[in-house]
Amino acid sequence: MNELVLKVAQSKAAHWYHQDGSPQHTIDGANGNERNTNLRDARKYGLYPSVTGVDSDVLTNFGVTRWKEGILIEAAYTLPVKPDEEYDDFCDRVKSDADQFGSVAREFGSKIHAAIDCFHMDRDFQPEPELLPWFEKYKAWFKANIIDVVSSERTVVNKKVGYAGTMDMVARHQEYGTVLIDFKTQNMKRPKPNFYDSWVRQLSAYRECVDPKPQCLSVVINSKEPMDPFEKLWTDQETKTGWDVFKRACEIWQLQRGYFPGGGE
């Protein structure tokens, strides 16, 4: 079994973790101002990169790429060119509009994740009113499918391979038994969501940190309109392939930077 530390996560946005599992995504700079943690800081304090950080740094996430392309195209299509507007100025407006859309999407995802975690800790929790329609759909799914929650928003540190991250939930499922769940929000254009290989890579990395190893389940919440969450139970072969790919990505990440956290060299 890999050496690991479990701790309640303080921030899902952390890209770096200490050995005890606590996130360190920002740090006080030499000028006294807070800034993002970087690789130099990681070397100094022995920090571990996040699962999502390793995956996005090394591997192409086709789902995210297509999503970004889509919102850029939509922004360009819906923003008419102003009279006498220069090409560069138009491009800047399109990028700004797309960035705003992406920011709203990320904010919704963060809020619904936080509301779900609060609900796991307190069944009487009520979110802000604008989230309530989605939250009620989640509660109905939870009641129908989840027997009990083993852990919610907890960090794992894999000192043997050299990475860390935050698991959304481990729970006992009515149909699948003990599962490791990752929640995703998606602005769905079709009746069903898209499921991406990066999701099972990340789930498999978390799975390698726990024993016995649960099955991996992605649960998608449609951010476009409230509806029942969608499930995908990844097969054993998909999970194995996901882990094989992620482990090699982790090796590449370390070799490219000459940094081997946890003595993974």
Q: Are 206 and 200 in contact (CB under 8 A)?
A: no
Domains, the chain, with CATH or none: 7-57+133-263 (3.90.320)
pLDDT at position 102 over 70? no
Per-residue model confidence (pLDDT) at position 111: 93
- Locate 235 and state its tokens: 């097969």
Tell me, what amino acid is at 164?
A
- Would strands 230-233 and 215-222 be described as parallel, antiparallel, or unpaired? antiparallel
- Locate 20 and state its tokens: 């005890």
CA distance 261 to 263: 5
Residue with structure tokens 């939930």? 169
Give residue-wise pLDDT tens across range 42-93: 999 999 999 999 999 999 776 667 666 776 777 777 888 888 888 888 888 8
Per-residue model confidence (pLDDT) at position 14: 41
Give residue-wise pLDDT tens across range 139-180: 999 999 999 999 999 999 999 999 999 999 999 999 999 999
Q: Are 217 and 234 in contact (CB under 8 A)?
A: yes
Give residue-wise pLDDT tens across range 194-246: 999 999 999 999 999 999 999 999 999 999 999 999 999 999 999 999 999 99
Tell me, what amino acid is at 133?
P
Q: Is residue 49 classed exposed, middle or buried when 0-12, 13-18 and 19+ CB atoms within 10 A define those classes?
A: buried
Per-residue model confidence (pLDDT) at position 7: 31
Q: Which of 184, 188, 186, 190 is nearest to 169 (CA)?
A: 184
What are residue 184's DSSP bridge partners?
A: 220
For residues 54-68, one letter each, b for 16 or more C-beta atoms within 10 angstroms of the residue's C-beta and e for the rest, the string is bbbebbebebeeebe
pLDDT at position 18 over 60? yes
Per-residue model confidence (pLDDT) at position 189: 80
